[in-house]
Amino acid sequence: MLSLLLLLLLLPPQDCAEPPGLAQLPRLAPLQSPDLLYADGLRAYAAGAWERAVALLREALRSRAEVGRARRDCGAWCAAEPGNELPPVPSSDPGSDFSPGTWERLLLRAALRRAECVSQCAVRRLGSRGAAGHRVVRALRDAFRRREPYNYLQRAYYQLKKLDLAVAAAHTFYVANPKHIQIREDMVKYHRMSGVRRQSFRDLENLSHWAAYDEGLELLKRQEVAEALPLLEEALKESLAQMENCRAECEGPEEQLTEEEEEEEIQLESQSGLYEAIAGHWIRVLQCRQRCPGAVATRPGQDSPVPDFLPSQLWRLQEAHAQVGNLSQAMENALSILLFYPEDEAVKEVLDKHQKLLGEQSPDLSAREDIRHFVLQSVGEKKLLYYAMEHLGTSFKDPDPWTPEDLIPEGLRKKLREDLEKRPWDSKPPEPESLAKWRDVHFLEGVTLTQDAGQLNGSERAVLDGLLSRAECEILLQLAKDAAKTGDGYRSRRSPHTPHEHFEGLTVLRAAQLARSGAVGREGAKLLLEASERARTLTQAYFSPEGPLHLSFTHLVCRSAIEGEQEQRMDLSHPVHADNCLLDPYSGECWKEPPAYTHRDYSGLLYLNDDFQGGDLFFTEPDALTVTAQVRPQCGRLVAFSSGGENPHGVWAVTKGRRCTLALWHTRAPEHMEQRYYCIYLREVKDRKKDAT
């Protein structure tokens, strides 16, 4: 344990560069806590006090940024102050008179001095309460990371008729939340407004490394290599600076932990002694620092980082330098890549090529010092984390593919290798009985499971393909064309969800009546029943093998875009809703009460065509705004899902063409069974038997 503490506490302090991204905001008053400012801003927004809301929300953003800057600056300044340096590691030489007890006293004295310095610095920068007075809860930290203040700002600016600032704030929020339905609609609105300049669509939080990176890549695409080089160098420099900022933030008490680690910390807090607590704290700091490269490499609004962000930047730099004749710089960047991947053959070939071109003029070249520092620093931290993993039982998921294998202790390496090489079916849990039963139907029907709940980012959702052939889809489309009636199934409403689309429907009862009267062919009506039963059988087999599902309502519906009414359109074809409860997006609750169809248990959408624009089905979070999955209709595709608040869904606007679907709702309650459907279905079965005899 003592050796781990020595290594942890002697890590070098980090420099602190100021983050370049946030737009500078004027100071309105002495710095206040960002959570109080944000709460007051939201109250002003709700009251329609737009100017006050703008001032408070801007100040909340400035306060949050200033707290981070103060923490980084104070940490760097105090680390460099004389007398605050940590003592050297005690010598293991038997003749040394430096005892562990002496070293421990020096260490604690240095730690106390550093703490005093940081505390006093924070008071000078942030006011009498220091950093402790500006801590915020996780929910608020997440709100700032999601840039939520900008969503309120854009609405407030719009009310104040400050269109340029409204568009900039909206774009800033949109960049980090591209799946947010409301902001997508707002962005469409702004793009269509006259008087909105292209320059207004700017990211007020744009991080400098992404700005330089994107501009450099754009110049490379245009073959303007010489102009791209300074930007590529700036992108790398700023990427490393952002990583240092992130690493410094890891020393803040609330910034280190993921949500899972935070829960684990609460459980272990009362069980730790002094040394365990110190080691545990530093381990979490190191885990946080190891996440920084991935955080810096992840664009706002994206879920995963750009793969090999630093090595890929170095590769572009070596290529660009080589193209303009800077072979020495090209070699330095290539050598830097080898720090990550020492056996990379492509890089070695490039080095040999450059070496031959330089000949005897080649100076003694080495990797870039900034990259060498980064790699050594990261490798040193990984050693400590793997040590803690082996000896203290802590967890560490290494985010980097370039970590040297010999860095990992042999015993731990074997276990990790076994985990990686383990066959997927060895680690899968036993197959649920529902899926086992489903597979029998799956193979009998020739249907493929295209996406399950995990792939659709939710629960009790599935996409199944192959329920209908192309010919069968054409038969049902013809039936819809011949028999679908405006408002049928929608209480005679022509456009129940949007005035920009024309809705036509056909119920099972009406299809049977038309077939018996000879108004439509019997083939289409029969297929409508058969397709409904296929969908019910598959939905039951997949979701409810333990008990029967009954069809409670079946509806063939087509929605057509109305020509001339699509230009200024901002609405949805079908607003976000749940099928058996009343969705409250503000609370995230779904109230199972009338007028909702509370008896519905599962829903199904069997698509007949895809020759239209828009009209994709999407699922959201309970807020009805954040899209979690999207499905494109096609012939024979069934989307089946549970009907409750766990599956809010809607339909994007159909902007061209006609979209036809067989919508089905299933219930476990026999008393809510669609009686007319079963009467018709049983009659059809009886007719078939009669024909067979």
**14-23, 75-84, 162-171, 418-427: range with lowest mean pLDDT:** 14-23
Is residue 549 a contact partner of residue 538, using CB atoms and an 8 Å limit?
no
Q: In DSSP terms, which residues pair with 180 in a beta bridge?
A: 626
Choose between 599 and 497: higher pLDDT. Answer: 599
pLDDT of amino acid 132: 60
Task: For residue range 12-24, list pLDDT tens digits in order.
Answer: 333 333 333 333 4
pLDDT of amino acid 365: 84
Instruction: Work out the mean pLDDT of the chain and round it to a whole number.
Output: 81
**pTM tops 0.85, yes or no:** no
Task: For residue range 493-514, list pLDDT tens digits in order.
Answer: 444 457 889 889 998 888 888 8
> For residues 354 and 479, what is the distance between their CA atoms, to the nearest angstrom?
70
Task: For residue range 50-61, list pLDDT tens digits in order.
Answer: 999 999 999 999
Beta-carbon neighbour count of residue 160 at 10 Å? 14
DSSP for residue 180: B
Residue 360: band (very low, low, confident or very high) from pLDDT cuts 50, 70, 90 = low
pLDDT of amino acid 112: 84
> For residues 251 and 325, what is the distance between their CA atoms, to the nearest angstrom?
43
pLDDT of amino acid 637: 96
> For residues 653 and 657, what is the distance between their CA atoms, to the nearest angstrom?
11
Question: Mean pLDDT across the stretch 370-392?
Answer: 92
**15-24, 414-423, 581-590: range with lowest mean pLDDT:** 15-24
Q: In DSSP terms, which residues pair with 602 in a beta bridge?
A: 642, 666
Residue 373: band (very low, low, confident or very high) from pLDDT cuts 50, 70, 90 = very high
Instruction: Report the amino acid identity of residue 352.
Output: D
Closest C-alpha among 678, 675, 633 to residue 657: 633
The alpha carbons of the chain give a radius of gyration, in whole angstroms, of 32
The residues annotated as belonging to the active site are: 659
Instruction: Report the amino acid identity of residue 643.
Output: S
Question: Mean pLDDT across the stretch 574-600?
Answer: 87
Instruction: Report the amino acid identity of residue 489.
Output: G
> For residues 454 and 458, what is the distance between their CA atoms, to the nearest angstrom?
6
pLDDT of amino acid 434: 46
Closest C-alpha among 335, 341, 404 to residue 369: 335
Percent of the chain topping pLDDT 90? 42
Choose between 116 and 424: higher pLDDT. Answer: 116
Residue 362 scores a pLDDT above 80: no
Closest C-alpha among 662, 667, 627, 668 to residue 648: 627
pLDDT of amino acid 4: 39
Question: Mean pLDDT across the stretch 86-101?
Answer: 59
pLDDT of amino acid 433: 47
pLDDT of amino acid 681: 58
CA angle 553/554/559 to nearest 5° reads: 120
Percent of the chain topping pLDDT 70? 78
Residue 41: band (very low, low, confident or very high) from pLDDT cuts 50, 70, 90 = very high
> 169 is written with which tokens?
């704030």
> For residues 173 and 185, what is the distance between their CA atoms, to the nearest angstrom?
13
pLDDT of amino acid 82: 73
pLDDT of amino acid 249: 82
Residue 678 scores a pLDDT above 60: no
> For residues 584 and 156, what is the distance between their CA atoms, to the nearest angstrom?
24
Question: Mean pLDDT across the stretch 332-353?
Answer: 93
Beta-carbon neighbour count of residue 46 at 10 Å? 10
pLDDT of amino acid 2: 38
Is residue 236 a contact partner of residue 314, using CB atoms and an 8 Å limit?
yes
> For residues 202 and 204, what is the distance between their CA atoms, to the nearest angstrom?
6
Residue 121: band (very low, low, confident or very high) from pLDDT cuts 50, 70, 90 = confident
pLDDT of amino acid 11: 39
Domains of the chain with bracketed CATH: 2-91+99-208 (no CATH), 210-420 (no CATH), 451-562+570-692 (2.60.120.620)
> What percent helix, strand, coil does the chain show, rounded to 5?
55, 10, 35
**76-85, 183-192, 531-540, 610-619: range with lowest mean pLDDT:** 76-85
> 323 is written with which tokens?
């193209």
> For residues 543 and 539, what is the distance between their CA atoms, to the nearest angstrom?
6
Residue 380 scores a pLDDT above 50: yes
> What is the DSSP code string of 280-304?
HHHHHHHHHHHHHHHHHTSPTT-SS
